[in-house]
Structures are given as C-alpha cells and as structure tokens.
C-alpha cells in the first residue's frame, strides 16, 4: 500500500502529525465498525416492529420510548431476551460507561477531526498517538463482534419462541439458485 503515498505532497507542520494510507484505513475501519451498531439498531427496529422513523434509528436512541426519563420501550422489555439485554448493556457502556471514550472518538472522527501524531501527551479524543488509535479500533472491533453474536442469539431465541407457539409447524422455504451468468452485471 506504500505506493499510494508516493509523490503525494504533504506539508510538514512540525507538530508530528502522521499522514499516510494506513492511518486513513484505520479511521475508515473505526467508522465502519461503529456504523455496524447502527445497522443492528435498524434490524431490531424492523424485527420488533418498533416503528421508529428510519432517520431517527441509531444504536443509542432506539432503546428508549422517552429518552429524558430513560423509559425503555415496552416491546423491548416484553421480549425478556437475555441477548437483547446484553445489547442494551453495550449501549449503556457507550453512554457513560467504559466505552464512552470510543463514542467521543467516533463523534470527533465523524463531526470534527482526529490528529494522529507520533507523540501526543496528553491524549484526548481528537489528538492521539497512532498506537492508541489502533488499540481503540481493535477494542471497538471486539465490541461489535460481540454485538453481532448477541444479535444472532437474540433472533435465534425469538424464532425458537415463535416455533414453540406454532407447535413446530412452520412452512418450508425453498430458494432457487441463481445461475452463474446472472450473478454479475459485468460482461466478459
């Protein structure tokens, strides 16, 4: 990937800022991991038929019917699903818990900027060393991996409940396989 940086003019501002493709890829990865949490929220909104307007759905807003009073939505409470509770716990950790810093980094990255520097003391959400930002990205990746597993178990548990209610009588779904020549719009 070093070829991307060749013949690119970057002015050295003498503040030890690091500008290279690797840091930009880490920033893109951080954003993408965080965006997965919002996609989980969209899925839960559809699956539980919460009827939240799509432009209002995100991982931090979807849990409460009334955000001021921290009143959890009835449909979420009524599931009694431990995996959904685990997802809610992740949300709480982002609110004011151990992942609050990751939320602040995401907000800085999305709405302002982040300076990656060779040396940064003290570090904050907008100014940090390359190793610190990489560690934060890896921590976020682990959190998102866990959230995906909780989501899978949530759906499995809810579908198992539905199957028990219907006494195991669920219609079979058949899928037709798509021929190879229709899989890509590019022609050879």
Give pLDDT tens digits for 17-48: 666 667 778 888 889 999 999 999 999 999 99
The count of structural domains within the chain is 1
**178 in any annotated domain:** yes
In contact, 29 and 44? CB cutoff 8 Å: no
**188 in any annotated domain:** no
**42 in any annotated domain:** yes
**187 in any annotated domain:** no
**56 in any annotated domain:** yes
pLDDT at residue number 45 = 95
Strand intervals (E) in 77-125: 115-117
Residues in a beta bridge with 117: 17, 129
Tell me which residue of 46, 91, 82 sits closest to 64, measured CA to CA. Answer: 91
Domain extent for 10: 2-182
**83 in any annotated domain:** yes
In contact, 1 and 22? CB cutoff 8 Å: yes
**116 in any annotated domain:** yes
pLDDT at residue number 12 = 56
């Amino acid at each position: 990937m070093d070829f991307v940086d060749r013949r690119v003019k970057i002015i050295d501002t003498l503040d030890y800022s690091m500008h290279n493709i690797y840091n930009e890829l880490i920033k893109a990865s951080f954003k993408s991991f965080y965006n997965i949490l919002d996609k989980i929220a969209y899925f839960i909104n559809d699956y539980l038929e919460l009827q939240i307007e799509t432009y209002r759905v995100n991982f931090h807003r979807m849990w409460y019917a009334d955000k001021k009073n921290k009143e959890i939505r009835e449909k979420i409470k009524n599931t009694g699903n431990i995996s959904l509770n685990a997802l809610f716990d992740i949300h709480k950790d982002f609110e004011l818990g151990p992942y609050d810093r990751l939320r602040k980094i995401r907000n800085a990255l999305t709405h302002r900027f982040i300076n990656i520097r060779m040396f940064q003391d003290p570090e904050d959400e907008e100014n940090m060393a390359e190793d610190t930002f990489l560690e934060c990205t890896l921590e976020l990746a682990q959190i998102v991996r866990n959230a995906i597993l909780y989501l899978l178990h949530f759906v499995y548990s809810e579908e198992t409940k539905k199957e028990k209610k219907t006494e195991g009588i669920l219609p079979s779904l058949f899928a037709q396989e798509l021929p190879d020549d229709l899989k890509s719009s590019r022609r050879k």
